[in-house]
Amino acid sequence: MRNLFAGLAMVIAVAACQENINTPGDCPTLCPGEQIIVRDTVILATPGSDSAFFGYASKAASSVLLVSSGLAAGELRSFLVFPKQRRDSIQVDGTQRALIVDTISISFSLQARDSTAKNLKLFLHRVPITVDTALTFDSLQSLIAQAPPFDSIAVADTLKLGKVEALFVGPRLTLIDGPAADSGRFAVGLTVRADKPTGIRLGGGSGLTSGPLFETRGKVDVSDTAKQRQRTSVRPDAADKLGYVGNRDLAVGASADLLYIGGPQAGRSIIRFAIPRFILDSSQILRATLELTPAARLDGLPNNPAGDSIVVRGVAADLGAKSPPLGAAGLLVKGGLGQGTTNATQIDMFSLVAQWQATGGPPSVVFVAHQDEPLGGGFMQPVFYSTRSPTGQPRLRLTYGLPTRPGRP
Amino acid sequence: MRKAVLFGLALFAAPASVQGQSSQFGVRGLGIPVRPLSPRAIATGGAFGLFDLESSLNPAAPASAIQFASLFSSAQNFRRSTNPFGSSSGKDNRFPQILAVGPIGGTRFGAAISMSGYTDRNFALGTVDTISLRGVPVGVFDTLISRGGLSDLRLAGGWRATSALHLGLGLHAITGSNRLENRRTFSDTAYATASERSTLSYLGLGISAGASLRVAPRLTLAGMFRTDGHLDIDRDTTRIARTDLPTSYSVGARWQPSLKVGLAASYGAKRWRASDADIRAQGGVGADNAYEVAGGIEILRDPKNPGHRPWRLGGFYATLPFPVRIGRQPHEFGISAGTAVRFTRGQGGFDFALQQLWRSDGAGYTERATVVTVGFSIRP
């Protein structure tokens, strides 16, 4: 039996050895086949088939507040209206009790800033409660100009993201008082300033927890000391009662020979490619890059880690401006927009082009948009050359492999 | 016999990797030939193969079966390959021989069914290069991986014409597949790995005849002739080629000066030149005729229990049929040793063989391999 076990152990040891069948070689000298052929090609967008469309998002759908000062991307101002709030009493243990207000806080969620801009300050201007998303930049700017800031929030140079807050205590509480006709509603216009041209993005949107918060804090006369401090808060509750406006809208007077994305009117551009059949049918895509050449410098918020980006989606069917985008998250590709440059924007299209190769796959058409379109837009309003431009037409740079079918004896 | 049939059916379900060992000399042609030998025959350099019941060389050998036996062998190959492009070490494990043999009760016949390696085409070739992509030099690493080879499914029947003369006939199905993967990876990870896969499948038929004759009380001669027809080759599901397969023959002599000592020598030749034109037509380098000479000795400790702890030694020299480069026929030289143990009154046993092999084409392609073969046999 001892021999049996020894033998079995040896069999197991022999069988358990890991395989390595590598040998050095030099193809095609030693290979029974050729290496995969790799080719590079540039495919220009189908002439005349690309165009820009606007109006893919309403102002009321915006969930951010943009404010800027002196940026080449344009001037941006934000506004918001807090709804009516009862500040003189509060319900404690089912009983309405008088609230002795000692503090009021107006806070915002800082989502993006120029990290090199020092001494950043957010200014709060009292504006009429009638402001809404129908407002133009000039009219809001006029309202703000008529109302010097009633307070400001100094944003620490080290703060990149998080809560910024204006506190009103003691005699400063009167700054919040408004005309009786406002019925407790409170409207604010926002401007910003720093040591250099800059901008910020604040959380917005009605009812969102990232949106602006108006909070009243005070004391109630109850015996339970744990319940003596109370607070009550509101956020803007109407979609048209907060938003931002800018003085730069490239959709106004847009050229039909350029491609626009983003901006106040949520521009998108559609681009079509005619890829040779043999590439789609017989090759393996190794790298696919969409190259868009800016027609003007890409100006946004500098030094912003969460900078402006472009998104490219395939479409399920080519229906022009109303082409339904492909739904799968993996088929949305992104590319950073180079702040302050005119260098070509490059977007990795590997996953999309692979879809185009599938039998019955989607058409080789892409929709290009600003990544922040669902939020309400970004600082940057990129404009790119189209196929009608003399240079810098949209192009797809493909690197693909062709099979060699190895296996010769 | 029922057990033999069951074992035979099991062979069809056996894994396809019934091949020999990976080698850089298995890259071209149909691969590196595999000898259809049991661990016992391997340990004696292959010289006892024509006389060995558990080898698949001579279809007359089953005539000497007196009890049912089945054998399963496993070979571990440790290899170092060198060529003008570098050196590398490799190792792999294969199952070169599965066999069942036994007498047909009440008759002078014995039968065997076996699955052996025919050629082995397991290898992975790696090369490095630089190409220009998008105007920038990019490093590329190419890998061609081949797995598989040809197996020989044999059904053999032996007839004890007399106590001295055994005759046999074998039918062979040569089957197998070759799974190829071609890959190109890039030093710049922005590029996806390029790859392609294809499978070559093979089917051929052959027939063999063999005899052994005891010409003197201590001297036995044996011989075998085999012709393998042609091999149909399909890529995926499409017939792409047909390759003529060789005829072959082997002759050998065994001398037993005493009950404890046996000596054997053999010579075999395979006319692979028959495949040359077809292989060239398919883009290969070609094929040359190959031969093999072997000599070995077996020393028994207990002639009443010959399978228990014998000493086996041997050596062989062979030419390999498929050159890596035109005009450079490689060759192989090997020495071997082995022993065996039997247990449970000889009903079970292990046979061990250790081979040291040297291969070369005489022009920079060399290989050194150590092969450990273990066979497990049952004689219920």
- Is the distance from CB of A350 to CB of A288 less than 8 angstroms? yes
Confidence label for A237 from pLDDT (cuts 50, 70 and 90): confident
Which chain A residues have a beta carbon less than 8 Å from that of B84? 26
Q: Give residue for tokens 């007399």.
A: B162
Q: Are strands B109-120 and A229-234 parallel, antiparallel or unpaired?
A: unpaired
Q: Is the pLDDT of residue B163 over 50?
A: yes
Cβ–Cβ gap A286/B194 under 8 Å: yes
Integer Cα distance of B77 and A9 in angstroms: 18
Most confident of A303-312, B160-169, B342-351: B160-169
Q: What is the pLDDT of residues B268-322, one digit of tens each?
A: 999 999 999 999 999 899 999 999 999 999 999 999 888 899 999 999 999 999 9
Residue contact A406–B30, C-beta within 8 A? no
Choice between B92 and A6, residue whose per-residue pLDDT is larger: B92
Nearest to A21 among B28, B74, B122 (CB): B122
A32:B146 CB<8 A? yes
Whether the link from the prior residue into A28 is cis, omega within 30° of 0, is yes
More confident residue, B250 or A89: B250
**Beta-carbon contacts below 8 Å between A and B:** 177
Among A17, A23, A279, A282, the strongest candidate for a mutation testing the B interface, having the largest count of B CBs within 10 A, is: A23
Q: Flag if A14 and B74 touch (Cβ within 8 Å).
A: yes
Q: Is A24 in Cβ contact with B126 (below 8 Å)? A: yes
Token pair listed for B85: 């492009």
> Is residue B69's pLDDT more than 70?
yes
With H, G, I as helix, E, B as strand and everything else as coil, classify residue A295: coil
pLDDT exceeds cutoff 70 at A330? no
A contact test, residue of B125, B187, B371 with most A CBs within 10 A = B125
DSSP β-bridge partners for residue B127: B142
pLDDT averaged over every residue in chain B:
92
Task: Tell which phi-psi region holds residue B274, choosing left (phi > 0), alpha (psi between -120 and 50) or beta.
Answer: alpha
Residue B14: pLDDT band with limits 50, 70, 90: very low
Please judge whether B196 and A14 are an interchain contact, meaning their C-beta atoms are less than 8 angstroms apart. no
Here the tokens at position B299 are 């020393």
pLDDT in tens, A240-256: 889 999 998 888 999 99
| Interatomic CA distance for residues B303 and B316, integer angstroms | 26
Give the list of residues 6+ apart from residue A168 with CB closer than 8 angstroms, or none: A103, A104, A105, A106, A151, A175, A176
3-class SS of residue B11: helix
Which DSSP string corresponds to B167-227?
Answer: EEEEEEEEEEEEEEEEEEEESSTTSPPEEEEEEEEEEEEEEEEEEEEEEETTEEEEEEEEE
Does the pLDDT value for residue A169 go beyond 50?
A: yes
Q: Once rounded to an integer, what is the mean pLDDT over residues B89-94?
A: 88
Which two tokens mark A309? 């980006």
Please, what is the Cα angle at A355 between A394 and A400, to 5 degrees? 65
Higher confidence at residue A3 or residue A203? A203
Quick check: B65 pLDDT over 50? yes
Chain A: residues touching B (Cβ < 8 Å): 1, 3-4, 7, 10-11, 14-15, 17-27, 29-33, 35-36, 38, 40, 284-287, 348, 350, 397, 399, 401, 403-409
Span A5-54, pLDDT tens digits: 565 556 555 555 667 877 777 776 667 878 899 999 999 999 999 999 99
Tell me if B341 and A26 make a contact (CB, 8 A cut-off): no
For residues A173 and A162, the answer to whether their CB atoms sit within 8 Å is no
For A111-131, b/e burial (b = at least 16 CB within 10 A) is bbbbeebeebebbbbbbbbeb
A172-186 residue pLDDT tens = 988 888 887 888 889
Instruction: Give the residue on B whose Cα is nearest the Cα of A36.
Output: B184
Confidence of residue B17 (pLDDT cuts 50, 70, 90): very low
Residues of B in contact with A18 (CB under 8 A): 91
Average pLDDT over residues A293-319: 90
pTM of the model: 0.78
Cβ contact (<8 Å) for A405 and B194?
no
Residue A69 has a pLDDT of 95
Q: How far is A358 from chain B (nearest CA, A)?
A: 17
Residue written as token pair 């205590």: A169
The residues pairing with B298 across neighbouring beta strands, listed in sequence order, are B262, B312
Contact: A19, B124; criterion CB under 8 Å = no
CA distance A317 to chain B (A): 27
For residue B76, the model assigns a pLDDT of: 92
Q: To probe the interface with A, which of B138, B144, B240 has the most A CB atoms within 10 Å? A: B144
CA distances in angstroms from B310 to B72, B178, B307, B337, B366, listed in the order given: 19, 38, 6, 10, 33
Smallest Cα–Cα separation from A46: which of A267, A285, A318? Answer: A318
Instruction: Round the average pLDDT of chain A to a whole number and report it.
Output: 88
E strand or H helix at A163: strand A162-169
Can you give the pLDDT at residue B12? 39
pLDDT attached to residue A8: 55
Q: pLDDT-based confidence at B94, cuts 50/70/90?
A: confident
Task: Give the pLDDT mean for A388-399.
Answer: 96
Angle at B29 between CA B27 and CA B33, to 5 degrees: 80
Distance CA B41, CA A265 (A): 85
**Max CA pair span of chain B:** 80
Q: pLDDT band for B232, please (50, 70, 90 cuts).
A: very high
Which of A26, A33, A35 faces B184 most closely, judged by CB atoms?
Answer: A35
Q: Is the dihedral of CA B126, B285, B325, A19 positive or negative?
A: positive
Q: What angle do CA B221, B224, B226 make, to 5 degrees?
A: 175
User: What distance in Å separates the CA atoms of residue B246 and residue B231, rounded to the nearest whole number?
Assistant: 10
8 Å CB contact of B144 and A24: no
- d(CA B97, CA B152) in angstroms, rounded, equals 10
pLDDT in tens, A366-377: 999 998 888 888
Closest alpha carbon to A242 in A409, A65, A384: A65
Maximum average pLDDT range among A78-87, A91-100, A122-131 = A122-131
Q: Taking 60 as the threshold, does the pLDDT of residue B3 lie above it?
A: no
> Residue B376: its chain A contacts at CB < 8 A?
7, 11
**pLDDT score for B81:** 92
Q: How many CB atoms lie within 10 A of CB A49?
A: 16
The minimal CB distance from B28 to the residues A24, A32, A35 is found for A32
For residues B150 and B175, the answer to whether their CB atoms sit within 8 Å is: yes
Q: Say what the pLDDT of residue B361 is.
A: 93
Q: Could you tell me how far CA B361 lies from the centroid of its own chain?
A: 20
Strand partners, A168: A104
Strand-pair category, B123-133 with A22-24: parallel
Highest mean pLDDT among A5-19, A363-377, B78-92, B187-201: B187-201
- pLDDT at position A25 is 74
On chain B, the residues whose CB falls within 8 A of the CB of A35 are 127, 129, 140, 142, 182, 184
Residues 6+ apart with CB under 8 A from B275: B29, B30, B243, B244, B245, B246, B287, B321
Is pLDDT at B6 greater than 60 in this prediction? no
More confident residue, B198 or B226: B226
Percent of chain A with pLDDT over 90: 58
